A and B are shown apart, each in its own frame.
Chain A
Amino acid sequence: MKANRLKTILGSARVWTVLVLAAWAVQVQAAATTLTVWHAYRGKEKAAFEKVVANYNKQAAAKGVEATTLAVPYDAYADKITAAVPRGKGPDVFIFAQDRLGGWVEGGSTVEPIGFFLDDKTRNQFLPSMLEAMTYRNTVYGLPLNYKSITLIYNKKLVKVPPKSSGELVKLAKSLTDAAAGRFGLAYAYNDYYYHAALQNAFGGRAFDPGPKPVLNAPQNIAAMKLLLKWIRQDAILPAEPSTALITSLFNDGKAAMVFSGPWFLGEVAPGLDYGLAPLPTIDEAGGKPMRPWLTIEGVYVAMSSRHKEAAYDLAKYLVSEEAGLVLAVEGRQLHTNKAVYTHKAVADDPVLSAFRKQLDTATPMPNFAEMTVMWSPATTAMNTIVRGAARPEVALEKAQRTVEKDVAALRKGR
């Protein structure tokens, strides 16, 4: 009996040792580098992105690197990054627009500077001003992935030839406007500073001077406001209280002939509505200079808490390469930042992609300072006050300037 029991115990001990050793061996082999990528894409973009990452995994399997993606809902995305990465719980790579970059760099311990890995070949593969958006205080923090800006979207049934100058725009819009019937020639969210920036930049206006120093009350900004008021009051080509929901429904009902909006608008256009895209017109009042919309550039960042920074950079480099860019552009309908992508027929012949590429020639990246966030609320208040006629542009902008200066100074306390 005893011998039997001993044998059973020994036998099982042997079996267990073998099992444990095997498991350990398997684990050692499978202990490849796993990279986590966070993004906030949905639908087609998400599918295209996951396809690109799968391609990367095929190539990187030889090095033992595997990347997994996680789609985070957009509302909570920025806060999740801000909370998770400094505590070491975040991803290795994440994709985000450049507007939060300044805030993250000032807060510290979120974004890893990657200037060290950047070689000239990578630097030169991007369209102009893309890398600039990823740079804060002359340090490069991410690789630009795609860009978005607003452009002129028009209903082909109502508008045969898109206007090239503001004079043509006003003439055309007036002929298509019947305010009593609720029809307008032009509709865009003109009380949103982001959209208004296109008009303001044409005059040479800006929110911040290098420093960054707020200059909301610059004379060029006031001139841009005056032009906007002319469009609303004298020319009466714009609807009142424009919200994005209103603009979309007006355009879809055929009640708005032209719209200034970006790629996000195209997904909401009613099927069957024949629309065209054209670059934003030039502004006669600004000496024929073109409207220069702000670019929102999404970048691929390496998280500071990542344990495999070089592998993460490798993945980032792949995502902005020509191969990945083609998939993202054609299938994900993204406007990729790699110059080479636009030489492919599939992209060059696409009306939407080529239209936004043309708009890029006159677009400018939105500033990525941390101080930008304190600018939005006073600027929006000023816009609403001016548009409603409750205050003159000079007065409202002066008030906004004082508020922003005060808030920026409150942020920058010296030691």
Chain B
Amino acid sequence: MKLRALLTQPATLGLLLAVASGVLLSEWFFAQAQDELLAERQERAVVMQAMALADQVAAVEAAAPDSSAPRLAALSRAWSARFSDIVAIRVVRSADAQFLASTDPRDVAPLPRQLAREEKPLYDLGQELRANVETNAAEGVFRKKQIDVARLDRTRLRVAVPYAVGGQVLGFVQVEQRVAAPALPPATGRVAVAIAAPIALFLLAAAAAWRRGRTAPPGRPWAQFGVALLLLGAALYGEARDGLAELGARHERFAVELAQQYTAAKREFESATQALAVKAVTDNRWDVDDYQRPRAIIGADGSVDRIALADELGARATRVTRGLWGNAALSVLVLGFVAFGYARRLRLTLVEHKIAYRYVAPAILGMLVLVFFPFIYGVTLSFTDTTLFNENLPLRELWVGLKNYIVILGDFQVIRGTEGGWVVNYQNFYWTLFITIAWTVCNVTIGVSLGLLLALALNTKGLRFTNVYRVLLILPWAIPNYITALTWRGMFHKQYGVINQVIQMFGGEPVSWFDGVFTSFLTGIATNGWLSFPFMMVITLGGLQSIPQDAYEAARVEGASRWQQFRHITLPYLRPTLIPAIIISVVWTFNMFNIIYLVSGGEPAGSNEILITQAYKIAFEKYQYGYAAAYSVVIFMILLVYGVFQNRVTRATEAIA
């Protein structure tokens, strides 16, 4: 069955899956882009009219604020009559909670009147728009939206535009309008061709190669992969080109329609201008974005600026192509995965060990939800610029790629020379890394040495009250380290602290512990040393129990000294227990937030911060979440590399020969 053999080759299957997923995903990307384009076009249409109306309302209010309501009512009626798409127009002066005009019959007449209790959302909207305009002006950046757009359903939009009198935003104009939502012709033909053609071509090529006796299926995987890759590339390229052409054509058509709409709005505006003292329109300041910045695509005379239009299309296309490249990469991965047989191997494994997988499934699920998802979210966050102010925007808009990492890892300005001498930049990543490594090395050394010493001491044969000693020595670990850290901090006080008083008792000078970088470092070491030796002691005690006594007897018979016994029997036997404990201790100490934060607090001047306290300060004091996420990923990478390296080098988990 030649055909059957051809069809069930891994490469064919891979190509089918890859092409199907690639083409369907790229269709989805284009559908998204088209939806976005349509939504924007609908919004722009309504915003233009609302902006023109707002200009007129501002003029009316400026002229006669006390009697503006009847003129506003007339104005709204005129606009509603002229543009049949408009469903309702409302004018609200939120400065004093007055509802000035409305063409919606559901709003209770007679207007103007005070806003009713259920109309609080209108008041809040007015205040929000006013606050946003003022914020943008005061801070000099456009970060708050000055126009509120609400989509009621696929064909109705409600836009609110603030109006200002004498430089002060007094209220807003809300326009509810029906918009056209032309559907795109379905692309099933294009999709079918894009999926079927590569498969057919591939089968033909494989059959031809087979007939010529070159290879019998499954044949040489790399060659097949190469051919499949070429066909996949061609299919995706064709898809992309078609989709982009369609996008471009629609973009152009919309621009022309919007220009016509602008001209109509301008005519209506000018016809009412004689009655109101409004400046003539010399530029198009109605086609604006959500921050009321002019888009500068449609000129004041209704002409379309081709260059600006092309720029806008280019920006849109770039966004789509970025998605398409990701899509292509995914398809290639799928192709490779199936074509090289990994998929088949996976399937066989799952079938062979299906009972085992069923047992493990709940744990896999738990790990996915509790460990992998937050981790992946953190990693994704690290590629964005999320801060407190913009965290409700979608991550897509905040993407900055590797910028955070470059800022963290590329800042080599650790030491600067100034007139006062060398000045160290304590916020620098590399200084903090140095302190963290020094901190970890010192602490683990002290902890292990102390723990080993005490374990050996406790393990002496014939020692009485070992239980009492053991309990006392475990206490530092048992008491919550939050409390002991604060106690130690008090002990290091310059004047009232116990340690300085003991030093003075012995005739020394009191030390300002937190004033110097090194002395401040020592405070942390002392506290953490005290806290960490019980853990090491317990682990070592356990390890010591498992050493066979006849090894010692043999050594004693041979005449080995105590030190030689220790070096050649005790230590090697302790290795499988100690090394994992050391790895754990290194990771814990590397991330020991409590001691650094509570004892020295990074004093002086942030010089004793470790990586994790820096990350905390960046996230919760500076509110720069994306940057802090990048910092955390860097910490993770360092520890991962260390863990893998340590395990390899020491072959720690292998038992003693």
Per-position binary interface string of chain A over residues 367-390, scored 1 when its CB falls under 8 Å from any chain B CB and 0 otherwise: 000100110110001001100101
Interchain CA distance A103-B493 in the complex, whole Å: 35
Per-position binary interface string of chain A over residues 151-188, scored 1 when its CB falls under 8 Å from any chain B CB and 0 otherwise: 00000000000000000000000000000001000000
If A106-B389, A116-B123, A412-B141 touch, whether A374 touches B622 (CB-CB below 8 Å) is yes
- Chain B residues near A137 (CB-CB < 8 A): 131, 134-135
- Chain A residues near B130 (CB-CB < 8 A): 138
B98 to chain A, nearest CB (A): 12
Interchain CA distance A127-B464 in the complex, whole Å: 71
Q: Is the CB of B495 within 8 A of A239?
A: yes
From B143, B495, B604, B623, contact of A240 by CB (8 A): B495
Tell me if A413 counts as interface (CB < 8 A to partner B): yes
Q: Is the CB of A374 within 8 A of B621?
A: yes
Interchain CA distance A414-B515 in the complex, whole Å: 40
- Chain A residues near B390 (CB-CB < 8 A): 413
Nearest neighbor of A108 in chain B, beta-carbon distance:
B392
Tell me if B127 counts as interface (CB < 8 A to partner A): yes
Q: Is the CB of A414 within 8 A of B141?
A: yes
Q: Is the CB of A385 within 8 A of B624?
A: no
A409 to chain B, nearest CB (A): 9
If A241-B514, A413-B387, A413-B390 touch, whether A385 touches B131 (CB-CB below 8 Å) is no
Q: Is the CB of A385 within 8 A of B605?
A: yes
Tell me if A76 counts as interface (CB < 8 A to partner B): no
Interchain CA distance A208-B531 in the complex, whole Å: 42
- Chain B residues near A245 (CB-CB < 8 A): 490
Nearest neighbor of B289 in chain A, beta-carbon distance:
A415
Q: Is the CB of B127 within 8 A of A384?
A: no
- Chain B residues near A374 (CB-CB < 8 A): 621-623
Q: Is the CB of B143 within 8 A of A413?
A: yes
Q: Is the CB of A241 within 8 A of B605?
A: no
Tell me if A323 counts as interface (CB < 8 A to partner B): no
- Chain A residues near B141 (CB-CB < 8 A): 412-414
- Chain A residues near B405 (CB-CB < 8 A): none
Q: Is the CB of A116 within 8 A of B115?
A: yes
Interchain CA distance A210-B387 in the complex, whole Å: 22
If A245-B490, A373-B621, A381-B606 touch, whether A410 touches B387 (CB-CB below 8 Å) is yes
A316 to chain B, nearest CB (A): 15
Residues of A92-134 whose CB lies within 8 A of B = 103, 106-109, 113, 115-117
Tell me if B176 counts as interface (CB < 8 A to partner A): no
Q: Is the CB of A377 within 8 A of B604?
A: no
If A139-B131, A373-B621, A412-B139 touch, whether A116 touches B388 (CB-CB below 8 Å) is no
Tell me if B120 counts as interface (CB < 8 A to partner A): yes
If A211-B139, A411-B387 touch, whether A115 touches B123 (CB-CB below 8 Å) is yes
Tell me if B603 counts as interface (CB < 8 A to partner A): yes
Q: Is the CB of A384 within 8 A of B604?
A: yes
Tell me if B97 counts as interface (CB < 8 A to partner A): yes
Interchain CA distance A120-B134 in the complex, whole Å: 25
Interchain CA distance A210-B135 in the complex, whole Å: 11
From A109, A139, A239, A376, contact of B621 by CB (8 A): A376
- Please tell me the size bucket of the interface on A: 35 or more
Tell me if B399 counts as interface (CB < 8 A to partner A): no
Q: Is the CB of A390 within 8 A of B604?
A: yes
- Chain A residues near B143 (CB-CB < 8 A): 412-415
Q: Is the CB of B135 within 8 A of A415?
A: no
Residues of A381-415 whose CB lies within 8 A of B = 381, 384-385, 388, 390, 407, 410-415
- Please tell me the size bucket of the interface on B: 35 or more
Tell me if B124 counts as interface (CB < 8 A to partner A): yes
Q: Is the CB of B621 within 8 A of A377?
A: yes
If A138-B131, A139-B127 touch, whether A390 touches B97 (CB-CB below 8 Å) is no
From A107, A412, A415, contact of B391 by CB (8 A): A107
> Interface centre among B130, B493, B495, B622, by most A CB within 10 Å?
B622
Interchain CA distance A411-B622 in the complex, whole Å: 8
Tell me if A246 counts as interface (CB < 8 A to partner B): yes
From A310, A373, A413, contact of B117 by CB (8 A): A310
A411 to chain B, nearest CB (A): 5
- Chain B residues near A310 (CB-CB < 8 A): 117
- Chain B residues near A240 (CB-CB < 8 A): 494-495, 512
Interchain CA distance A32-B259 in the complex, whole Å: 56
Interchain CA distance A182-B120 in the complex, whole Å: 61
Per-position binary interface string of chain A over residues 216-258, scored 1 when its CB falls under 8 Å from any chain B CB and 0 otherwise: 0000000000000000000000011101011000000000000
- Chain B residues near A210 (CB-CB < 8 A): 138
If A310-B117, A384-B604 touch, whether A107 touches B515 (CB-CB below 8 Å) is no
Interchain CA distance A260-B624 in the complex, whole Å: 34
Per-position binary interface string of chain B over residues 117-134, scored 1 when its CB falls under 8 Å from any chain A CB and 0 otherwise: 100100110011011001
Per-position binary interface string of chain B over residues 605-624, scored 1 when its CB falls under 8 Å from any chain A CB and 0 otherwise: 11000000000010001111
- Chain A residues near B623 (CB-CB < 8 A): 103, 370, 373-374, 411
Interchain CA distance A210-B139 in the complex, whole Å: 10
A96 to chain B, nearest CB (A): 17
- Chain A residues near B387 (CB-CB < 8 A): 410-411, 413
B386 to chain A, nearest CB (A): 10
Tell me if B430 counts as interface (CB < 8 A to partner A): no
Tell me if B337 counts as interface (CB < 8 A to partner A): no
If A116-B115, A411-B387, A413-B141 touch, whether A182 touches B605 (CB-CB below 8 Å) is no
Q: Is the CB of A388 within 8 A of B604?
A: yes
Q: Is the CB of B123 within 8 A of A390?
A: no
Residues of B99-114 whose CB lies within 8 A of A = none
Interchain CA distance A256-B77 in the complex, whole Å: 76
Nearest neighbor of A377 in chain B, beta-carbon distance:
B621
B194 to chain A, nearest CB (A): 36
Interchain CA distance A117-B622 in the complex, whole Å: 34
Q: Is the CB of B514 within 8 A of A113?
A: no
Q: Is the CB of B624 within 8 A of A415?
A: no
Interchain CA distance A109-B135 in the complex, whole Å: 18
Residues of B288-306 whose CB lies within 8 A of A = 291
Nearest neighbor of B426 in chain A, beta-carbon distance:
A381
Tell me if B340 counts as interface (CB < 8 A to partner A): no
Nearest neighbor of A211 in chain B, beta-carbon distance:
B138
Q: Is the CB of A116 within 8 A of B120?
A: yes
- Chain A residues near B127 (CB-CB < 8 A): 113, 115, 138-139
Nearest neighbor of A403 in chain B, beta-carbon distance:
B427
- Chain B residues near A370 (CB-CB < 8 A): 388-389, 623
Tell me if B142 counts as interface (CB < 8 A to partner A): yes
Q: Is the CB of A388 within 8 A of B621?
A: no
Interchain CA distance A115-B131 in the complex, whole Å: 13
Q: Is the CB of A411 within 8 A of B389?
A: yes
Q: Is the CB of B388 within 8 A of A103?
A: yes
Nearest neighbor of B620 in chain A, beta-carbon distance:
A373
Residues of B511-527 whose CB lies within 8 A of A = 512, 514-515
- Chain B residues near A109 (CB-CB < 8 A): 392
Residues of B469-516 whose CB lies within 8 A of A = 489-490, 493-496, 512, 514-515
A310 to chain B, nearest CB (A): 7
Tell me if B385 counts as interface (CB < 8 A to partner A): yes
- Chain A residues near B490 (CB-CB < 8 A): 243, 245-246
Q: Is the CB of A384 within 8 A of B391?
A: no
- Chain B residues near A113 (CB-CB < 8 A): 124, 127-128
- Chain A residues near B131 (CB-CB < 8 A): 137-139
Per-position binary interface string of chain A over residues 242-283, scored 1 when its CB falls under 8 Å from any chain B CB and 0 otherwise: 010110000000000000000000000000000000000000
Q: What would 17 A/B residue contacts be, using CB atoms closer than 8 Å?
A: A108-B392, A137-B131, A138-B130, A241-B493, A241-B494, A246-B490, A246-B493, A370-B389, A374-B623, A377-B621, A377-B622, A381-B605, A381-B606, A388-B512, A411-B623, A411-B624, A413-B390
Interface positions of B (Cβ within 8 A of A): 97, 115, 117, 120, 123-124, 127-128, 130-131, 134-135, 138-139, 141-143, 291, 385, 387-392, 489-490, 493-496, 512, 514-515, 603-606, 617, 621-624, 627
Closest A-B pairs by Cβ, 6 of them: A414-B141, A137-B131, A116-B123, A116-B120, A414-B142, A377-B621
Assuming A113-B128, A376-B621, A390-B605, what are 6 further A-B pairs, CB within 8 angstroms? A107-B391, A137-B131, A211-B138, A246-B490, A246-B496, A390-B515
